[in-house]
Structure 1
Amino acid sequence: MKANLQARYTERGAIPEAVIEAVPFELPALKPGQALIEVLAAPINPSDVLILTGQYGALPPLPAIGGNEGVGRVVALGPDTAGVAVGRVVLLPVGSGTWTTHLVVDAARLIALPDGADHQQLSMLAVNPPTAALLLRDFVDLQPGDWIIQNAANSAVAGYLIQLAALRGVRTVNVVRRESAVAGVAALGADVVLVDGDDLAARVSAATEGAAIKLAVDAVGGAATRRLASTLAQGAPVVAYGALSGQPAELSPRDLIFNDITLKGFWLARWFRTTAPAQQVELFAELAGLIAEGKLGAPVAATYDLSRIKEAVAAAAQGERSGKILITPNA
């Protein structure tokens, strides 16, 4: 019989795969209100790697189990527990330590997912798709035909943003840092894909025939933020959700003062803390429906059994991957 394993870490360090280890554990007895979940798939996100290295904005107390999102199947319910039925595929609570073969959770926190949908695609539902959806929805009242721009356009969030924008009729300029990334981004349905550079504003204007760019989405920071801002229409915001460069976001005085450009930040964890559960469920249901219909998804580069967690984390920490790394503990 296959052992129950969980990916546990007791310290943080510069080499993320060095601090995490797959260790056996015993399943606890279920209490009233609890559900036992068999984990089907859980991704390794950039934030997961940053948590292991201690560089993320919020760090769980140690020791901890890795993984912030995933999907599983309900295999048992505690005494007098109502809600999601045994056998149902569910979204795991965000931040619950999902790199594990099994998880005991409060049954009331589980969200049932559409039958027949791809489990691997559903496992990526809780972090990147809502980030993309909220970046599109909450900062500018975008209408069909409007243009937006984003950098790190070959990232997972950017891929979802391209797809969601296209469904709304919003057009996207997508900025990447290397020529080899252009084809993959274009294949997702991007309207324009450009390699970043000092003449970005001129090339954006030429590619969009001088269209007003209503929103910039920044995952890089540093001078890349300034280059995005230089493409924007007067009064438009730059919304930062990442800092891949490790540098503070830059804005030129010209854009800040004379073009009235604003710089705002977005952190999904804050949205979870401040948004009513019913609204969260509504957004997850909308996105899960699109995934089930095949209208929303992300490429998967590789899957790993939990016993190979060190290899999986090392793969996720490398650049220039063609998709997400997933843990599939019960494949």
Structure 2
Amino acid sequence: MKHARYTHRGPVPQDVIEATPFTLPALQAGQVRVEVLAAPINPSDVLTLTGDYGSLPPLPAVGGNEGVGRVAEVAADVAGLSPGQTVLLPIGCGTWSTHLIVDAEALVPLPRGGDPHQLAMLTVNPPTARLLLSDIVDLHPGDWVIQNAANSAVGGYLIQLARIRGVRTVNIVRREAAVADVQELGANVVLVDGDDLSQRVAEATGGARPRLGIDAVGGMATERMAQALAPGATLVNYGAMGGEPCAISPSALIFRGITLRGFWLAQWFKNTDAATRNTLFAELVGLIAAGQLKARIQQTYGIDEIKAAVAAAAAGERSGKILLLPNG
């Protein structure tokens, strides 16, 4: 058994983590031993390794916040779970590991036949996209929404979820090479960011102005998106891929009535009851199992390749997610 462990944080994320042998203790009452099938490496995971994320676990720690596993063994008192069953792992349990011991009540059984690679990415990005699309502004079929970082995992999920709801998307990317990939997902409009963004958005939408803007970049990208929105629109930020704070002009806030707010999925989980969370996951699991919701995967790595996997996840200009397959 091995897990990807780190004892300190630093500016080069792959330098602080390594695959380390370990031994699991015996099962206690109510526990399950799980073999991890797949776990993604998300931007938040990379920021956790560098120390730049909003919530950091105590050290030493094992990386990985989400994933899918197969039940290997259950304690004698556990009902409803059996060896061979595929389960969704609890958030923040250190999923970059070949095996875990988890409380049975924290595991979510998954439908048979679902793609474990896609289901492994269920916990973070799909709910982020779904909540950004549904819980910020009351959108109706035919409405427009604009997002940047459209070639990101959240961006891809948002495009697919918007299509299901009949909402049209303007998708902003930072390089021409990313346009084709975003178009393949079913985007209505794909544009490369630039100073004349507001004019090009109006031309592409026939003059319609989105009432919702979704920003993951920050810096002046926030202001360019604000200028493309309808008066009184809401602009929500959930990331800073550009490495700079959101910049937005007083004229956008005062004279055009743009509202700027933030979104953090961890806060939503903390403030939301279990029934609402379970309903959301059931919806997303159904869409993934039906093939209506998926993410592009760039490459998979084994547990012994964790340094290369983290480096690939931290690199720019990727065309898909990096997945860790701890058991090969």
TM-score class normalised by the smaller sequence: over 0.9
Alpha-carbon distance between aligned partners in 1 of 2:103 and 2:276, rounded to the nearest angstrom? 19
Name the aligned partner's letter for residue 110 of structure 2: L
Aligned to 2:224: 227
SS at match of 1:239: strand
**In the TM superposition, what are the counterparts of 1:1-331 in structure 2 within 5 Å?**
4-331=1-328
In structure 2, the residue corresponding to 1:99 is in which secondary structure? coil
How far apart in 2 are the matches of 1:90 and 1:274? 24
Residues 207-254 of structure 1 show CA distances to partners (whole Å, capped at 9, x for unaligned) of 000113110000001100000011111111000000111211111122
Deviation at 1:86, TM superposition (A): 2.5
Structure 1 residues 50-79: Cα deviation after superposition (integer angstroms, max 9, x where no partner) = 100111111000000000000001111113
Secondary structure of the residue that 2:130 maps to in structure 1? Answer: helix
Q: Secondary structure at the match of 2:66?
A: coil
Query: Structure 2, unaligned stretches of length 5 or more?
Result: none
Aligned partners of 1:66 and 1:97 also within 8 Å? yes
Letter in 2 for 1:25: F
Give 1:28 shift: 1.1
What is the total number of aligned residue pairs between the two structures?
A: 328
Residues in 2 aligned to 1:55 and 1:253: alpha-carbon distance in whole angstroms: 28
Query: Which amino acid counterpart does residue 315 of structure 1 have in structure 2?
Result: A
* CA offsets 1:24-50 (integer angstroms, 9 cap, x no match): 111210111111111000000011011
**Partner SS for 1:114:** coil
For residue 197 of structure 1, give the secondary structure of its aligned residue in structure 2: coil
Letter of the structure 2 residue corresponding to residue 202 of structure 1: Q
CA distance in 2, matches of 1:330, 1:288: 23
- For 2:96 and 2:257, how far apart are their aligned partners in 1? 45
Q: Is the 8 Å Cα contact of residues 111 and 281 (structure 1) preserved in structure 2?
A: no
Deviations 1:159-217 (A, max 9, x none): 00000000000000000111111111111000000000111000000000011311000
Percent identity of equivalent pairs: 65
Q: Taking structure 1 as the reference length, what is the TM-score of the superposition?
A: 0.98
SS of alignment partner, residue 37 of structure 2: strand
State the 4+ residue runs in structure 1 displaced beyond 6 angstroms. Answer: none
Amino acid at match of 1:249: C
Structure 1 spans left out of the alignment, 5+ residues? none
3-state secondary structure, aligned to 1:213: coil
- Pairwise CA RMSD: 0.8
The whole-number CA distance in structure 1 between the counterparts of 2:309 and 2:138 is 40
**Distance in 1 separating the partners of 2:303 and 2:13:** 15
CA distance in structure 2 between the aligned counterparts of 1:98 and 1:263, rounded to whole angstroms: 34
Give 1:329 deviation, angstroms: 1.2
Residue range with higher mean Cα deviation, 142-151 or 273-282: 273-282
Whole-angstrom distance in 2 between the partners of 1:120 and 1:83? 24
Residue aligned with 1:216, SS:
strand
Report the Cα offset of residue 330 of structure 1: 1.8
d(CA) in 2 for partners of 1:312 and 1:249? 29
Distance 1:257 1:303 in 2: 47
Q: Which amino acid aligns with 1:201?
A: S
